[in-house]
Amino acid sequence: MKITDIRLAELKIPLRTPFRTAVRSVDHVEDIIVEIHTDEGAIGYGEAPPTGRVTGDTKGAIVGAMRDHLIPALMGRSVEDFNELLDLTQGAIQHNTSAKAAMEIALYDLFGQMLNAPVYRLLGGSGAPITTDITISVNEPDEMVRDSLNAVSRGYKTLKIKVGNDAAKDMARMKAIRAAIGNEVALRIDANQGWKPKEAVRLLNEMEDAGLQIEFVEQPVHQADVEGLRYVREHVAIPVMADEAVYSPRDVAVLIQQNACDLINIKLMKTGGIKNALAICALAETYGVECMIGCMLEAKVSVNAAVHLASAKNRVITKVDLDGPVLCATDPIEGGAIFNEALISLPDTPGFGIKHITGLRYLS
Ligand code: MG
């Protein structure tokens, strides 16, 4: 199976409601879709969301990395040389993890189609369904209470609450939400680097003392502040998860060696795809550290790939935050995982199972 063409396209999907974190506010998912065409007619699909404020990968950077580096490295190559293609993808350019992830996802899709097996099976999984949380955007406390109650009424048993843009309000937000939803629903929080280490310790201990039952806190301090992350971990009982601090397997090794976190958040757009995500899983498993799998604001092509990985590696990926598709108002992507609110199930189709995407605007 030979690669004969690689096409790029834009895909824009409106969100149900604007998505707000400590660093940004958006009302659409905007993606670059990659299609790898082969001489046997098979098409592999990948997806990269431009998240310049998070990964540094803008739309222009993704397209430039694809056109100038990844596409020339892969054009004319055989899918049979799969591991070599993954190495070529990772080695074609520094950084640019979103573009690499999109290309890897399309390559895994083709590899699965070539072997007539779903990717979860190639990874040793049985295709077990997974359960995701849903993210509640950071807003005024009463608005967050309303959004939380709505999520619970839709069947979500775990809410991920965005905080960190105003430390003075964060305690009020969490108290109001816990009071409204009761104690049966799990609450995890994500400060998106929004706190200083001492501020994080004070707030988290206040939440603990108030009996808010926080499952874990994601990235309380700046991504470069490994010592700050360890300081928080050492001074609070609530488990600490690294997100923006972790891109590569090497980042994970450093954080584990420094005892800086309890949990790791894997996102394909940070790792540069599945190969490095698998390396992180192996490291985490070796050290007994559990992982969550998360996503950016992404549509179903790339989140579907994360679902295959999470299902296959469910012994180490014990927490799932793959709510990108359910935050979208429409679904232009046919095939792949079935997102039924919190429950995500996988059909037995080869590769990643994406059949068709409507509304693509091809880039010439
Ligand atoms: Mg996060």
pLDDT in tens, 334-348: 999 999 999 999 999
Mean pLDDT of 46-51: 96
Active site residue 162: yes
Superfamily of domain 3-116+357-362: Enolase-like, N-terminal domain (3.30.390.10)
Q: 211 C-alpha to center of ligand 1: Å?
A: 23
pLDDT of 25 higher than 90:
no
Place of tokens 């399309």: 106
pLDDT of 26 higher than 90:
no
Q: 135 C-alpha to center of ligand 1: Å?
A: 10
Q: 87 C-alpha to center of ligand 1: Å?
A: 28
Per-residue pLDDT reduced to its tens digit, 56-72: 999 999 999 999 999 99
Predicted pLDDT of residue 339: 95
**CATH topology for 122-355?**
TIM Barrel (3.20.20)
Per-residue pLDDT reduced to its tens digit, 230-257: 999 999 999 999 999 999 999 999 999 9
Per-residue pLDDT reduced to its tens digit, 163-211: 998 988 999 999 999 999 999 999 999 999 999 999 999 999 999 999 9
- Amino acid code (one letter) for 328: C
Q: Which of 12, 100, 160, 162 is catalytic?
A: 162
Q: 173 C-alpha to center of ligand 1: Å?
A: 18
Active site residue 355: no
Q: 341 C-alpha to center of ligand 1: Å?
A: 20
Per-residue pLDDT reduced to its tens digit, 306-321: 999 999 999 999 999 9
User: Would you say how long the chain is, in residues?
Assistant: 364
CA distance 9 to 29: 14
Q: 292 burial class (0-12, 13-18, 19+ CB within 10 angstroms)? A: buried
pLDDT of 73 higher than 90:
yes
Predicted pLDDT of residue 284: 98
Q: 342 C-alpha to center of ligand 1: Å?
A: 18
Predicted pLDDT of residue 253: 98
Predicted pLDDT of residue 20: 82
Q: Which of 267, 270, 313, 319 is catalytic?
A: 267
- Outline where the chain has alpha helix (H): 59-65, 71-74, 82-91, 97-114, 119-122, 141-153, 167-181, 197-209, 226-235, 249-257, 268-271, 274-287, 300-312, 324-327
Domain residue ranges in the chain: 3-116+357-362, 122-355
Per-residue pLDDT reduced to its tens digit, 99-140: 999 999 999 999 999 999 999 999 999 999 999 999 999 999
CA distance 119 to 110: 10
Select from 330, 326, 298, 311 the least CA-distant residue to 136.
Answer: 326
CA distance 53 to 358: 28
